[in-house]
Amino acid sequence: MKTVIIGGVAGGMSAATRLRRLDENAEIVVLERSGYVSFANCGLPYYVGDVITDRNALLLQTPTSLKARFGIDVRVDSEAVSIDRPAKSVRVSNLATGEQYSEDYDNLILAPGAAPFVPPIPGVERALALRNIGDVDKMAAAVDSILARPEPTAVIMGGGFIGVELAENLVERGVKVTIVELADQLLAPLDPEMAALVEKHLVKHGVRVVTGASVTEVCSDSVYLSNGDWLPAALVVAAIGVRPETGLAEAAGLELGERGGILVDEHQRTSDPAIYAVGDAVVKRDSITGNQALVPLAGPANRHGRLVADVIAGREVAAKPVLGTAIVGAFGIVAAATGWTEKRAVSAGLEVRIIHTHPANHAGYYPGAEGMSLKLVVDADTDAILGAQGVGGSGVDKRIDVIATAMRGGLTASDLADLELSYAPQFGSAKDPVNMLGFIAENLRVGLTETIQWHQVAAEVTKGVQLIDVRTPAEYARGTVDGAVNIPVDDLRARIDEVGEDVIVHCQVGLRGYLAARTLAQHGRRVRNLDGGYRTWARI
């Protein structure tokens, strides 16, 4: 049996090497349009930033090494220009010589990936994208060039993961960077109060952030924005997002999904049973609803490439729905997410419970403890975990990965309380931050406490609901939620007559507010604790 794979990198090469491990006799041909078939595309921003100094470190495999170890026929600079489905043949153009030829197949795997979206605005041809080795060579050379200027400047169109990573790397090279994002926040996989923490950190490290605007024109040394402003820009980067490369599949008459990607079944098989597709060009199934989703991440691409090889080799396997677990770091801050955001869940009409916490990454008494902010999105009807987000330093990745694993295993939010996680003072706490999310989820589920969200407080205060800051007078003096009066938690019992019948309490991060809420509830008050406390409300 002969398998032809169009496209290398994550999905294509995972399929090729797995198929060889399963079938020593299979004939495997890989057609790659670029000059590089296997490279670390997630490492490209760090080569631009001189964090990765050896360009060869980005090249994971070459046609020669793949031939030697796996017996795979890899052809770079070879573009598949058309698919003849009845003849089971691919028309290939050799980009080095200009010659064309036909390559027959028994099984065909499409792994074309996704292309950066570049808006159709005047001068946009000057903008650089970052997708492959050729792109990173151009960008690295451009950065070297602008560093010769008295004040090198760059504008990054897009505040997603790539935009944030490039901002860090360019600043570290000495470039003055502005991120321009059309949405009202950076990092769409986060909710606004969590994204605000990242934005504040970027600004602290010299990155200018402009939200709610887009670049409307690229000039020789500047850009104009939709809000009327202009920015100096010796370098312009398009990091707005990606779109699935489906031209070849569409021309061949393969069915596309409602989101524009190639439609596949649970075996990654397209509408043609002899053709499979994997990677960023392919529609996935969302883990919450099972609906179609586009998730351009390396993890699913690698897994699905491996799965296709299993299917071709006759193994009984099926693709799992995707959570979209992702992480980004910049200037020492980490932002990670899995599953749905609150805004997505609410827009889908779900009743949700939201939990914010601000724990340390390990025991506070052990030197070096770092704070983090965690958010859990819970289905209020079923206690199912819909998603989680984390922003902070060390340990954010571990907590989000644990929650992603819990979601895959079907655990509820309350079940997080009973997870047995490793503990020593330098690594965590006896009650891990993930356990604490579970404790809070259980308290909310059984009605032991009631919370209110940061964006709901003002409306309740306007209605006349009393707002009490239960922190110390010194903390209160440094800043409080608008409209709050100060009654420290330790004074509540003695000053119970000052507390109304309907009250909202808040502390710094939520714990003292919870204690106050339990006290007041047992004195007959209707009380809600500000979820995540003053820190969440103030986004600090």
Contacts 24+ apart (CB under 8 A), 422-428: 425/362, 425/363, 425/365, 425/366, 426/362, 426/363, 426/366, 426/368, 427/362, 428/361, 428/362, 428/363, 428/395
Report domain extents, the chain. 2-40+47-113+243-312, 124-240, 332-446, 451-538
Report residue 538's pLDDT band, with 50, 70 and 90 as the boundaries: very high
- Residue 284's pLDDT is what? 96
Q: Pairing mode, if any, of strands 451-452 and 485-486?
A: unpaired
- Residue 103's pLDDT is what? 98
- Residue 540's pLDDT is what? 80
Q: For 303-339, how does the pLDDT look when each residue is reduced to its tens digit (9 = 90+)?
A: 999 999 999 999 999 999 999 999 999 999 999 999 9
* Percent of residues, the chain, with pLDDT higher than 70: 100
Question: Which is nearest to 258 in space by CA: 284, 229, 228?
Answer: 284
Report residue 94's pLDDT band, with 50, 70 and 90 as the boundaries: very high
Topology, domain 451-538: Oxidized Rhodanese; domain 1 (3.40.250)
CATH H-level superfamily of 124-240 = FAD/NAD(P)-binding domain (3.50.50.60)
Indicate the range of 34-38, 44-48, 280-284, 497-501 predicted with least confidence.
34-38
* Percent of residues, the chain, with pLDDT higher than 90: 97
**In a 3-state reduction of DSSP, which class is residue 260?**
coil
For residue 153, the surrounding DSSP H or E stretch is: strand 153-157
What does the DSSP assignment read for 40-63? -GGGHHHHHTTSS--GGGGEEE-H
- Residue 259's pLDDT is what? 85
- Residue 283's pLDDT is what? 96
Distance from C-alpha of 487 to C-alpha of 497, rounded to nearest angstrom? 11
The label of the residue with tokens 């670390």 reads 40
- Residue 107's pLDDT is what? 98
At the second CATH level, the architecture of 332-446 is 3-Layer(bba) Sandwich (3.50)
| Average confidence score pLDDT of the chain | 96
Q: For 458-493, how does the pLDDT look when each residue is reduced to its tens digit (9 = 90+)?
A: 999 999 999 999 999 999 999 999 999 999 999 999
Report residue 302's pLDDT band, with 50, 70 and 90 as the boundaries: very high
Q: What is the CATH number of domain 2-40+47-113+243-312?
A: 3.50.50.60
Q: For 377-411, how does the pLDDT look when each residue is reduced to its tens digit (9 = 90+)?
A: 999 999 999 999 999 999 999 999 999 999 999 99
Tokens coding 154: 């760059």
At 454, give phi and psi (nearest 5°): -55, -35
Distance from C-alpha of 252 to C-alpha of 246, rounded to nearest angstrom? 10
Q: How many CA atoms lie within 13 A of 462 on its CB side?
A: 5
Distance from C-alpha of 399 to C-alpha of 389, rounded to nearest angstrom? 9
Domains 2-40+47-113+243-312 and 451-538 share a fold: no
Q: How many CA atoms lie within 13 A of 137 on its CB side?
A: 8
Summarize the confidence of residues 499-509 as an average pLDDT. Answer: 97
Those residues with Cβ within 8 angstroms of residue 489's Cβ, 6 or more apart along the chain or in another chain: 470, 471, 507, 512, 515, 516, 519
**b or e along 11-49 (b: 16 or more beta carbons within 10 Å of the residue's beta carbon)?**
bbbbbbbbbbeebeebebbbbbbbebbbbbbeebbbbbb
- Sign of the Cα pseudo-torsion (324, 214, 232, 185, in order): negative
The label of the residue with tokens 């309907």 reads 502
Summarize the confidence of residues 207-236 as an average pLDDT. Answer: 97
Report residue 41's pLDDT band, with 50, 70 and 90 as the boundaries: confident
Q: For 513-528, how does the pLDDT look when each residue is reduced to its tens digit (9 = 90+)?
A: 999 999 999 999 999 9
Q: For 245-269, how does the pLDDT look when each residue is reduced to its tens digit (9 = 90+)?
A: 999 999 999 999 988 999 999 999 9
